[in-house]
């Protein structure tokens, strides 16, 4: 990838997390999992590959910290070029949201499948949404307990979290209505065949 070309959202997530303090890859993953993974997730290998690329592009600097009794760790910090890249990205227009969603695509075509298949997809989706809601609510509780110096950053993090929770709650409501309709359809079909 040429310098400054086509960075992905994960790159900017990491640059954003590095604002204000140096962090190790382990710290970034831990903070990522506690703060932003409800809207963007990444595995360890993705984070470390991204850090390596950002370092090669000069957007982050790395320093090895010698530790006694523990493995040495590598701390990353934002460079001025990284700060500029992050600020340019933040100022860009957000692209229109035409997301790929395999669940909705399957649901779209479930009219060609038995109702039990659609019901299974909806019930699985419901369980997934409930798990995401639980995780989001835990994240919200943690964020509300935060008493650090970055209150302005926290205000926008809370806004993103509130937005995601509201979307998940709406998703759950629609899913519950669809499940109820399919269960009624299955019950009528069972009565008709009896």
Confidence of residue 50 (pLDDT cuts 50, 70, 90): very high
At 147 the pLDDT is 79
CB neighbours (10 Å) of residue 146? 13
Whether pTM exceeds 0.85: no
- Are 56 and 76 part of one and the same domain? yes
* Interatomic CA distance for residues 147 and 151, integer angstroms: 8
- Are 73 and 106 part of one and the same domain? no
User: Would 137 be classed as within a structural domain?
Assistant: yes
- Which pLDDT tens digit goes with each residue over 70-95? 888 999 999 999 999 999 999 988 87
| Residue 3 vs residues 55, 157, 165: alpha-carbon distances, Å | 11, 29, 36
Number of domains in the chain: 2
Strand order from edge to edge, sheet including 60-65: 23-24, 73-78, 60-65
- Which pLDDT tens digit goes with each residue over 13-37? 999 999 888 999 999 999 888 888 8
Confidence of residue 4 (pLDDT cuts 50, 70, 90): very low
- Which pLDDT tens digit goes with each residue over 121-165? 999 999 999 999 998 898 888 888 877 777 788 888 889 889 999
- Are 83 and 17 part of one and the same domain? yes
Mean pLDDT, all residues of the chain? 88
Q: Specify the length of the chain in residues.
A: 194
- CATH number of the domain enclosing 23: 1.10.10.10
Confidence of residue 6 (pLDDT cuts 50, 70, 90): low
Domain hosting residue 52, numbered range? 9-91
- Are 128 and 168 part of one and the same domain? yes
- Are 87 and 109 part of one and the same domain? no
Q: Residue 74's closest CA among 9, 18, 149?
A: 18
Alpha helices in the chain (DSSP H): 9-17, 25-35, 44-56, 80-91, 102-109, 115-145, 151-193
């Amino acid at each position: 990838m040429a310098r400054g070309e086509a960075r992905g959202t994960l790159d900017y997530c990491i640059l954003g997390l590095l604002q204000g303090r140096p962090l190790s890859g382990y710290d970034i993953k831990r903070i990522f999992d506690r703060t932003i993974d409800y809207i963007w997730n990444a595995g360890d290998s993705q984070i470390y590959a991204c850090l390596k690329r950002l370092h090669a592009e000069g957007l982050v600097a790395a320093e090895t910290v010698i530790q006694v009794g523990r493995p040495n760790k590598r701390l990353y910090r934002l460079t001025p070029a990284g700060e500029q890249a992050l600020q340019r990205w933040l100022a860009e227009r957000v692209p229109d949201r035409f997301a790929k969603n395999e669940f909705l695509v399957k649901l779209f075509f479930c009219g060609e499948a038995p109702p039990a298949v659609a019901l299974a997809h909806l019930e699985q989706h419901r369980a997934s949404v409930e798990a995401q809601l639980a995780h989001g609510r835990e994240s919200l509780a943690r964020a509300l307990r935060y008493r650090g110096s970055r209150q302005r950053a926290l205000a926008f993090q809370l806004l993103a979290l509130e937005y995601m929770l509201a979307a998940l709650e709406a998703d759950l409501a629609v899913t519950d209505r669809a499940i109820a309709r399919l269960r009624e359809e299955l019950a009528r079909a069972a009565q008709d065949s009896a």
